[in-house]
Amino acid sequence: MSAEASNSDDLNYIKDDCKICHRYLRDTRSVSLVEAAKVFQRMPQAGRREIFKKAIAAKEAHKKLLEKPPIQKQQVQSPPPKPLVQTPKVTQVIYKKPSPLKATARPKRQGKEEEVGSKLYSLNIPQKDLALLKKVAKEEGESVSTLIRMAIKKHLKERAEG
């Protein structure tokens, strides 16, 4: 085995050891993996060795925990099933079957031809104006959108005339 290959294996071994220590610090201190790596780098050599020993011990304990066969619980016998009671047959239909839904088209629009091509348009209205508009709509028994459309038509009509 060459010296370069040996150094490469040692570096991989060291990287793996560091990863084990980083994960151990992450789990025990409840910090991110990056923060755990920073903490580990700032530790003195003796502290690193101590963390490494604890990390290996924790890893081994976790492996042993996973290797233990599960304890078999005593199986509780369920009571024997009760005999089924036959339900009496119903001779008359209590509920009527619902009639199948009929496909209906959207009702045709009633109004002027020019309104057929209308589009939805969103606009921002200041709060004060909106409150006043709602008040007027309530007094006149119209919807706010109807009042807005009427005001727009009136404005366009005045502009076209004058």
| pLDDT in the model for residue 18 | 84
Whether pTM exceeds 0.75: no
- In three state form, how does the secondary structure of the chain look? CCHHHHHHHHHHHHHHHHHHHHHHHHHHHCCCHHHHHHHHHHCCHHHHHHHHHHHHHHHHHHHHHHHCCCCCCCCCCCCCCCCCCCCCCCCCCCCCCCCCCCCCCCCCCCCCHHHCCCCCCCCCCCHHHHHHHHHHHHHHCCCHHHHHHHHHHHHHHHHHHC
pLDDT band of 1, cuts 50, 70, 90: very low
Tell me what the mean pLDDT of segment 116-124 comes to.
77
pLDDT band of 5, cuts 50, 70, 90: very low
Architecture of domain 120-161: Orthogonal Bundle (1.10)
How many CB atoms lie under 10 A from the CB of residue 92?
4
**Which tens digit of pLDDT belongs to each residue from 25-75?**
888 888 888 888 888 888 888 888 888 899 888 888 877 777 766 666 666
**Domain definitions of the chain by residue range:** 3-67, 120-161
